[in-house]
Amino acid sequence: MTTERIDRVQFVQNNIPTRLKNLAAHLTEINLLSRETEQPFVAIRLIRESQYFIEWTAPEMDIDTAAELVDLMRALSRWKLNWENICSDTIAWTQVTQEAKSWSQRVLSMSGLLASPKGIAP
């Protein structure tokens, strides 16, 4: 059995909110990466894993949420295809990190795991 298969088996055993929380965590990691030499390989791995997380989760979501995850999948694909250029362009790098942060917040919101501030109903 491949590592990818083992990861999938373990991943899909989690409930949907936990899966989305893991996806949001990957996006946060992408946002926090530096442009150091070794970091592009980490980013590509995180992007690829995030794509798998979406592939394994979206079919179990309602149509609107699944469509939003597909939009994220497209963004991840663009990042992966252009990662070398992104790393060498400060403006592109800044845009990707901001998008990753925004997506992370959106995905975490989808999970329903965000705690509302004390005294404020969700």
CB burial string 65-90: b at 16+ within 10 A, e below: beebbeebbebbeebbeebeebbeee
Please give the chain's pLDDT, 122 residues, in tens: 344 555 888 888 899 999 999 999 999 999 888 766 556 778 899 999 999 999 999 999 999 999 999 999 999 999 999 998 998 898 999 999 999 999 999 999 999 877 544 444 44
N-terminal to C-terminal alpha carbon distance within the chain: 43
